[in-house]
Amino acid sequence: MKFSHAFLALGVAAMLVGTPARAVELSMVSGDTGDGIKVLREILDRYEKDSGNKVNIVVMPTSGTDQFGQYRLWLAAGNSDIDVYQTDVIWAPQLASQLVDLTAATRDIVAEHFPSIIQSQTVNGKLVALPIFTDAPALYYRKDLLDKYGAKVPATWKELADTARLVMDKERAAGNRDIWGFVFQGNAYEGLTCDALEWVMSNDGGQIIEPDGSISISNPKAAAVLDMVKGWVGTIAPPGVLAYQEEESRGVWQTGNAVFMRNWPYAYALGNGEGSPIKGKFDVAPLPAGTGEGARPVATLGGWNLAVSKYSKHPDAAIELVKFIASPAMQKYRALKTSNLPTIQALYDDADIARQHPIIPRWKQIFLNAVPRPSAATRIKYNE
């Protein structure tokens, strides 16, 4: 396998280790949102041109819950048709025994990534997945509408509800009958787990399940904030929000029919894309805090990684594919195309990224509020 791109020169030596002598056909599975699959295909086209190998994408539903369930079935059956899995940051402890140890193959490149993200994919001393982008959600807000009505960016959930109601009511009175105050992920899937963790922890209600395995959700602060959220449905949020995942939320938001949205970074580039009704009309801020002592902004740590199945017939080629997609050059390409957040630390100082998506360097502030889901404490029981 020979790479001609100058920007990959530093990684050539490492990436040639274990290179197959003949071209092979690989399959990788992904359920990315937005333009994620399209951009992945563009990255794979570059890989195919350089390597001579062919890579097929097995497209999954965007629901992380559905993806994880199918992954477990394939891996439990020893399925050798899938070589590379795109995995959520929380799945490493649950799938580790059926994934290839990448420690030796990535020894020379892991230092480029944020250490905490590498650690999240390390199980019993073995690196089982290599990160390709990280995630932390933010509060998207219509700055034009807040300016129009002299409203401030909310710092608490109560302020968000009050401001959402104010702007929504005034806009509807002016004839904008389709607008809602707030959209989020209310469907019963992993996305709701993320939202709920943010609501509860931001109100000092605990982590649902603590690192020591104790269940902490049954407490007055958690109950209070969940009661508040229940009251949003049908008032500031559409009744249909109970069926919304990320894309349904973005659909309402990007058509100009929401004042606020909770979502991940990918929605930023799409919202500012050509033809978007809200292009240039919105900004992002940290998610609000709860109220009272101990309240603080909280964002669920997200992110996606690539893992090699231990049942792959071409593990060496699969490892090289993973390293190519996770490389600085390809993470930069993905960031420019989709506004996905790199896991390569140096890219937060990259001039091209800062010029095209100035929000990405600013997103580091949101990372300061990021907390993990309780997957480490629950391990294989997390999704049960």
Residue 290: name the closest of 179, 197, 374, 383 by CA: 197
Q: What's the mean per-residue pLDDT of the chain?
A: 92
Output the pLDDT for position 5: 40
Amino acid in the structure at residue 212 = D
pLDDT of 7 higher than 60? no
CA–CA separation, 267 and 137 (whole Å): 10
If one counts the domains in the chain, the total is 2
Tokens 């899995």 label which residue? 85
Residue type, 236: I
Q: What is the spatial distance between Cα 144 and Cα 121, in angstroms, rounded to a whole number? A: 40
Residue ending a domain, choose from 283, 300, 317: 300
pLDDT of residue 384: 65
C-beta of residue 146 within 8 angstroms of C-beta of residue 152: yes
**pLDDT exceeds cutoff 50 at 87:** yes
In a domain, 153, yes or no: yes
Under a CB-based contact definition with an 8 Å cutoff, are residues 261 and 250 in contact?
Answer: yes
Type and span of the H or E element at 141:
strand 138-142
Task: Provide the whole-model pTM.
Answer: 0.80
Residue 314: alpha-carbon gap to chain centroid = 28
Q: How confident is the model at residue 359 (pLDDT cuts 50, 70, 90)?
A: confident
Assigned domain for 375 exists: yes
Q: Is the pLDDT of residue 25 over 50?
A: yes
Please check whether residues 110 and 146 belong to one and the same domain. Answer: no
pLDDT band at 256 (very low <50, low <70, confident <90, very high): very high
* Measured CA distances, 83 to 6, 269, 312, 313 (Å): 27, 30, 5, 7
Residue 21 in this model has a pLDDT that exceeds 80: no
Is residue 184 within 8 A of residue 195, CB to CB? The reply is yes
Residues 112 and 224 in one domain: no
- 250 inside domain: yes
Residue 383 is predicted with a pLDDT of 67
Q: Write the CATH number for 173.
A: 3.40.190.10
Containing domain of residue 74, as a range? 6-136+301-381
Cα 236 to Cα 230: distance, rounded to the nearest angstrom: 11
CA 58 – CA 203 distance, rounded (Å):
40
